[in-house]
Amino acid sequence: MTNGLFLEADLHTHTVASTHAFSTITENCEYASQIGVKCIALTDHGMAMPDSPHVWHFENMRVLPRKIRGVSVLKGVEANILNYDGNLDVPEKHLANIEWLVASYHRYYFENFAVADKKTVTEGYLKLFERYGVDLVGHPTTKNFPADWDILAKAAAERGILLELNESSVATGKSPRENVLAMLSACKKYGCEIAVDSDAHFWSAIGSAPLSSKLLEEAGFPTELIVNADIDRLRERVHKKHPEIEI
């Protein structure tokens, strides 16, 4: 329970497969089980991150059981959006094995990075949506990549793509309060569903979103638009795309 919001799933988590994170998938699931989180998405970084897992990590996720310590595991990736043409760093042939696709902008892949205008960033997202079967846009509220929230939320809602309220991004100041509130307002307006995630890089962060919970309360955001607050809602979403997956 995080200030009134309980997350039944955490859809953006990292493991030691990315060496800037510090827990194993088993440790993450063990803690999730203890606090009542029923599902986590394993979303280590795509190949452009300097310490990302080798492609074999993503190819071999099939060896993982569906449940670890009683917690369902979605076998995914946080793919890096490489440019404003909406290209990802995970080759499309490897995405066939991915059950949960998070796509995120990170400044590290932009040579001589400078903050772009909202139109450029938003068009990058729209091109991404046209090309890939994205499940979740990771930390879109970061100040490094300002977006037009009306356009983005409307497009995401039409395509069934989740926008993320990322606890780590809020906690580190990368996502300013005004950006989060603006995104939530647009999501309410267009009925765009969101996920509230930890972006955990250590097991104790799994399922925790106290700062995000306060912002949701301030925005008067409806719980029914938070997909991972209800495991049945998440199960229905996953089943539409992957009928073979039981979580």
Q: Is the dihedral of CA 185, 110, 81, 205 positive or negative?
A: negative
Burial category of 223 from C-beta neighbours within 10 Å (exposed 0-12, middle 13-18, buried 19 and up): exposed
**Which SS3 state, helix, strand or coil, does residue 195 take?**
strand
State yes or no: pLDDT of 179 exceeds 50: yes
The model's pTM is 0.96
Task: Please give the single-letter amino acid code of residue 39.
Answer: C
The CATH fold of domain 9-241: TIM Barrel (3.20.20)
Residue 97: predicted pLDDT: 87
Contact 221, 213 (CB under 8 A): no
Each domain of the chain, given as residue ranges in start order, spans 9-241
pLDDT (tens digit, 9 = 90+) per residue, 110-140?
A: 888 999 999 999 999 999 999 999 999 999 9
pLDDT averaged over the chain?
Answer: 96
Residue 4: predicted pLDDT: 55
